[in-house]
Chains A and B, each alone.
Chain A
Amino acid sequence: MKKQQLPLLFLSFILVLSACKKGNEEIDTEYPTIDVTGSAFPQQCAVIKRGEKFIFKAKLNDNVELGSVSIDVHHNFDHHNHSTEVNECNLGAVKQPVKPFLLIKDFPIPSGQKTYEMAQEVTVPADVDAGDYHFLIRLTDKTGWQTLKGLSIKIN
């Protein structure tokens, strides 16, 4: 009797497992991409003038559907690091901020898009501190995958 139970138990274990096998529907595991080459602006080490407007341009892509995009421009006078680019820019000396430029803005992307050309006008006030800044782009897709792009720029 002892010997007969073992195979039975193994069998029931296999049955339990196989009963749970599911028809695996495809899930999205790809990150969206931010293309800051070509006509994109700003690019790594770009220089922006105070008191002027510029157009933030980037090409956004995803394999299924894009989510939303957010930009964050903040000073880098303390030489912290968010850069995702390989080549570094010449940084100015470390200094205390007085009135640093700060811009945090999120932009929805029309639904159903796999590619999107971002073009948003940004104004830099004339009275902000000049110096090294970070231009951080955060992009999500519909599933919630997020890609970061951290650019070092200068405001003169």
Chain B
Amino acid sequence: MLLFSTFFCHGLFAQTYTVYGVVTDGTHQALEGITVKLSNTHVFAISDAQGKFSFQLANGAYELQVNAMGFHRVKNKIVVNGKAMQLVLKLQPHSYLLNEVTIKNNAGTERRRSESLNVEVVKADFIQRNLGGSLMNTLQRLPGIKTIGIGSGQSKPLIRGLGFNRVVVIDKGIKHEGQQWGADHGLEIDQFAAEEVELIKGAASFAYGADAIGGAIHIKAPAQPAPNSFGGEVNLIGKSNNGLYGTSVRLFQRKEKLFFDGRFTYQNYGDYRVPTDTLYVYDFAVGLHKNYLRNTAGRETGIHFNTGYINEKFKSIFYLSNTFSKSGFFANAHGLEPRRVDADLHDASDRDLLMPYQKVNHFKIINRTAFSLNRHAVEFELGYQHNFRQEYNHYVNHGFMPAVYPATMTIPIDLEREFDKQVYSFNAKDQITLGKHLLQLGLNGELQDNLINGWSFLVPAFQQKSLGVYAYDKWKVSDKLLLHGAVRYDLAKLDLFRYSDWFSSETNSGSMMQLIRANDLTRNFNSLVWSLGLNYNLDLLEFKANVGKSFRMPIAKELGANGVNYHYFSYEKGDPNLNPEQSYQADFSVAFTTGKWSVKLSPFFNYFPNYIYLNPTSAHDYFYGAGNQVFEYAQSEVMRYGGETQVKYQFSKQWSTELLAEYLYAEQLSGDKKGYTLPFSPPASALFNVTYAPQKFLGSADAYFSLDYRLTARQNNIVPPERKTAGYSLFNLQAGAKLQIGQYPLNINAQLQNVFNTRYLNHTSFYRLIGLPEQGRNFVLTVKMPFNFHHH
């Protein structure tokens, strides 16, 4: 309703001309999310990812004003005189900012002030300072963000306790597909290539599609190099715990309008070490050789190439990337299944990769084309992805599988599973400035083709088509008040394909037959979701609220799983009749900021009428489940609430302190597990930080020394098959500096993670069930050397 009310009011204007502008910082980096105001009016524009903004103005004199936090105020007088014009607004940062240890720049702050959802923006320097085993590992320093650990440096995002298909990962505007497949499948993202990551906590389905029921992680396209630049950077990285070494090299060049930007990343790591010499895998004692987790070594490569054409009104950029990783699974427990290993073979080297292991390749090509036309900013994205994952293992005859692998089989004897996923995506978006309204109309389409291979079976092959359209209006009612409203409609079709066993099982009558694990199945889904929000911004106080409905259609696994997962000793059984999951969520946030204090509180409440979860039953299945416990996908009513708090205090120019805390409560209100929580509910935790940032340290600017103390509560709120987890506390140290070696700047960051080599269990780790402790003490060193070729 409020979306369309303004369509008509602003239809006609006097003869106007376009004023184009770009907002940059002192180093010519484009600034996103900066509000540019026309003095003495209510007219404003917000700069986009390229720092661009525009106004439609009639002839006359005007004054543009930018009053962004952390920057000196800029006022710029212009005269519109019968033609379009262009200008650059260069913002000078307040000098104290250079020394402030803050992870968000002002564009992020502006973005937060104009967005009713809970948004966190982190930049490359945050990633460099807090570099973990994977991008998600790095981001979990943020309150409300956790990961589901999968052992060897892989992890899945968990936002406020929701993960898997309830969190969308967007890479350069396109939904990243791949990680949803298996439980022990990471995110194939090269964290060196991530310049800016935006995290949305809470339902964001209307803009990011159905799966964003728990939140979204948006890895932004890297900023284009400045005109007439030619340079690059070299990153070196080393980690002591798993003997990791790696490099990431970038080279870019831009003339006026054409550019290229390439990056190559390589990492090689050995088995990681834990602070224990004995583990108990289902009560069976496993001795560890020198604290090494056997066979958790791996290698990773990432290749990125971006090229495109940019001018004032139009840009078209291609992003090409390929990430590849080969990593071992802990040999004594593939998944969770205990197995005897040839310890001599495995312990001979901590860098070799033996069975079982996985190979994952993710290829992606994306084109983003954007242009502005009068009041329209139009954007198209086209993407193709190919995710190919193989799990290799010695043949083990589970259940009724033949004791000796038949020679007639065409599936390789060591290929346990293979997932082959191809995804075609298309997005279109038009952002229209209508006076005080900023209206966004969008369309997302996706086509997925999923094939399987390997001698084990869990989920059938499937095809998935989806289409969504949305409208979103941001209405600047006054300088203080912003209102948001959005509606979205989705249509989807899912086709599952028949699968029958390659071996015979014994029926009740004693005869043998090949079981049909999955039948052809077609499901159609549609849904209408909405969202309403507001921002109320005073000088020192920000308030935001958002309520909305989200939906998620059941995935192939939830509908069609019908096989034994030996990782859990479970027979997983899908339900072809599951309804799409619905969720209602209310988010609030209050932030109070003065020169020295910054306090933010973000509570939320969430209700699912039908949350889909894997329910361990009391039954065993002899026929399809080879004697294993039956785990059925089921739906139940769920209530969740919790929140995060962030408090920062700047004692002086050099000293600052920070407190980040989070709490989550989830309860199933109906069904078989009524009264229980949801699986992988993170325990309450708090992080205390003290940072010392001397103005000058050994001649270097931007030096910092920082201590993180993380306190995690015990988690007694569990649901089968979880175990209670004791609380723990951890210390991490970070330090870094920017040095000048001749004419080259050198950026050094060091971390000492888990300073006291504390033995602790992470409640949201997959290996929690077999009591596998987390990584021990780890020293991480990264060096970044940017360089420039001067040309004439």
Contact = CB atoms under 8 A, between A and B. Distances in A.
B400 A140 contact: no
Interface in B552-592: 569, 588, 590, 592
A90 B394 CA distance: 23
Contacts of B676: 27
Given A68-B620, A70-B622, A5 B720 contact: no
B721 A22 contact: no
B282 A145 contact: no
B723 to A, nearest CB: 9
B629 A140 contact: yes
B601 interface: yes
B338 A82 contact: yes
Contacts of B626: 72, 104
Contacts, number: 133
Contact of B339 (A5, A81, A86): A81
Contacts of B284: 81, 83-86, 150
A86 B592 CA distance: 58
B675 interface: yes
Contact of A148 (B282, B540, B618, B718): B282
A9 B720 contact: no
A16 B603 contact: yes
A126 interface: no
Interface string B641-664: 101000000000000000000000
A13 B619 contact: no
A81 B339 CA distance: 4
A102 B400 contact: yes
B618 A25 contact: no
Contacts of B348: none
A45 B339 CA distance: 18
Contacts of A96: 404
A132 to B, nearest CB: 11
Interface in A36-90: 67-72, 74-75, 78-86
A88 B298 CA distance: 32
A156 interface: no
A106 B639 contact: no
A93 interface: no
A52 to B, nearest CB: 20
Given A27-B675, A71-B627, A140-B618, 10 more contacts: A2-B541, A72-B626, A78-B396, A80-B396, A105-B622, A138-B569, A138-B627, A140-B629, A144-B617, A150-B282
A17 B603 contact: yes
Contact of B618 (A9, A97, A144): A144
Contacts of B543: 5, 9
A29 B340 contact: no
A13 B601 contact: yes
28 contacts: A2-B539, A5-B541, A5-B543, A9-B543, A13-B603, A16-B605, A17-B643, A20-B605, A24-B675, A70-B622, A70-B629, A82-B282, A83-B284, A85-B284, A86-B285, A102-B400, A104-B399, A104-B506, A106-B622, A138-B628, A140-B616, A143-B720, A144-B615, A144-B617, A144-B721, A145-B616, A146-B629, A150-B284
Given A16-B603, A29-B718, A104-B399, A146 B627 contact: no
Interface string A135-156: 0001011111110101000000
Of all A-B residue pairs in the complex, the 8 with the closest CB atoms, nearest first, are A67-B618, A81-B340, A144-B616, A70-B620, A97-B403, A106-B620, A104-B627, A144-B720
Interface of A: 2, 5-6, 9-10, 13, 16-17, 20, 22, 24-25, 27, 29, 67-72, 74-75, 78-86, 96-97, 100, 102, 104-106, 138, 140-146, 148, 150
B665 interface: yes
A137 to B, nearest CB: 10
Contacts of B643: 13, 17
A142 B673 CA distance: 11
A80 B284 CA distance: 13
Contacts of A145: 616, 720-721
Contacts of B672: 144
B703 to A, nearest CB: 36
A106 B539 CA distance: 68
A34 to B, nearest CB: 11
A28 to B, nearest CB: 9
A55 to B, nearest CB: 19
Contacts of A85: 283-284
A85 B543 CA distance: 59
Contacts of A2: 538-541
Interface of B: 282-285, 338-340, 394, 396-397, 399-400, 403-404, 506, 538-541, 543, 569, 588, 590, 592, 601, 603, 605, 615-622, 626-629, 639, 641, 643, 665, 667, 672-673, 675-676, 716, 718, 720-721, 724
B590 A9 contact: yes
A68 B622 contact: no
Contacts of B588: 13, 16
Contact of B622 (A9, A75, A104, A140): A104
Contacts of B619: 67-68, 106, 140
A71 B622 CA distance: 10
Contacts of B628: 70, 138
A142 B616 CA distance: 10
Contacts of B569: 138, 146, 148
B639 A20 contact: yes
Contacts of A141: 618
A68 B630 CA distance: 11
Contacts of A17: 603, 641, 643
A74 B401 CA distance: 11
B618 A79 contact: no
Given A105-B627, A106-B627, A148-B569, A6 B541 contact: yes
A11 to B, nearest CB: 11
Residue with the greatest number of chain B CB neighbours at <10 A, chosen from A5, A69, A100, A143: A143
Contacts of A22: 667
Contacts of B665: 20
Contacts of A78: 394, 396
A106 B621 contact: yes
A146 B619 CA distance: 10
Nearest to B668: A27
Contacts of B340: 79-81
Contacts of B615: 144
A6 B627 contact: no
A130 to B, nearest CB: 14
Contacts of B627: 70-72, 104-106, 138
Given A22-B667, A70-B627, A145-B721, A6 B622 contact: no
A91 to B, nearest CB: 9
Contacts of B641: 16-17, 20
Contacts of A13: 588, 590, 601, 603, 643
Contacts of B721: 144-146
A86 B286 CA distance: 10
B590 A6 contact: yes
Nearest to A12: B588
A106 B629 CA distance: 10
A16 B590 CA distance: 14
Nearest to A73: B627
Nearest to B675: A27
A143 to B, nearest CB: 6
A5 B724 CA distance: 41
Contacts of B403: 75, 97, 100, 102
Nearest to B602: A13
Contacts of A25: 675
B620 A69 contact: yes
Contact of A80 (B339, B605, B720): B339
Contacts of A102: 400, 403
B600 to A, nearest CB: 12
Contacts of A80: 339-340, 396
